[in-house]
């Protein structure tokens, strides 16, 4: 069985998200693998405790990431490399924001929903330039957040590392065609 594109990029994202964290200045509160209490509560259909977050397994985190982020941004349908860049942005800043940023860069209607127009534009665009422009837009957005002075150095390091990983994936993938 071949490794899916999701399986190839989830390790990259989880390297940046890390384990259990409960930073007092993080508006997300307690997280593990980047999954907040709010997200875990939504998935489980009930309020969860900080201890529930601490006990979150990697398998459950991966399932959450696939369902609420990867699938929502239609990452399997994006060009290789751009899938990682958009997915990591969705994990860090929300799927709708990630899609709107991508759509703005592609010059299509920025409605936050990936549809045929967005996919067609993504496949027609130069992947290297699109990834680089998305990185610049992402850093610009993060730099305007009130928490940038606290988390900015780490966010910048993450975004630039994801960009490099995305560029590697884009350059090592054979050209594909899309059914859009």
pLDDT at 178: 46
What's residue 22's pLDDT? 84
Tens-digit pLDDT profile for residues 9-57: 999 999 888 789 888 777 778 899 999 999 999 999 999 999 999 999 9
Residue 178 lies in a domain: no
Tell whether 20 is covered by a domain.
yes
Residue 118 lies in a domain: yes
Question: What range defines the domain where residue 151 resides?
Answer: 5-172
Residue 71 lies in a domain: yes
What pLDDT sits at residue 174? 62
- The pLDDT of residue 71 is above 80: yes
CATH number of the domain to which 64 belongs:
1.20.141.10
- 179, part of any domain: no
DSSP collapsed to 3 states, 57-110: CHHHHHHHHHHHHHCCCCHHHCCCCHHHHHHHHHHHHCHHHHHHHHHHHHCCCC
Q: Is the pLDDT of residue 138 over 70?
A: yes
pLDDT for residue 2 is more than 70: no
């Amino acid at each position: 069985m071949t490794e899916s594109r999701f399986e190839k990029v989830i390790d990259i994202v989880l390297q940046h998200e890390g384990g259990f964290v409960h930073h007092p200045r993080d508006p997300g509160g307690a997280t593990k693998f980047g999954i907040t209490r709010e997200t875990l509560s939504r998935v489980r259909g009930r309020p969860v405790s900080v201890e529930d977050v601490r006990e979150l397994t990697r398998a459950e985190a991966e399932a959450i990431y696939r369902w609420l982020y990867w699938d929502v941004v239609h990452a399997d349908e994006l060009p290789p490399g751009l899938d990682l860049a958009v997915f990591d942005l969705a994990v860090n800043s929300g799927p709708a924001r990630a899609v709107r940023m991508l759509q703005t860069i592609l010059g299509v209607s920025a409605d936050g929903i990936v549809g045929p127009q967005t996919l067609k534009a993504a496949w027609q665009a130069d992947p290297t330039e699109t990834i680089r422009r998305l990185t610049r837009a992402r850093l610009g957005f993060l730099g305007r957040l009130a928490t940038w002075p606290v988390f900015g150095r780490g966010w910048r390091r993450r975004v630039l590392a994801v960009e490099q990983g995305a560029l590697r994936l884009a350059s090592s993938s054979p050209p594909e065609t899309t059914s859009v």
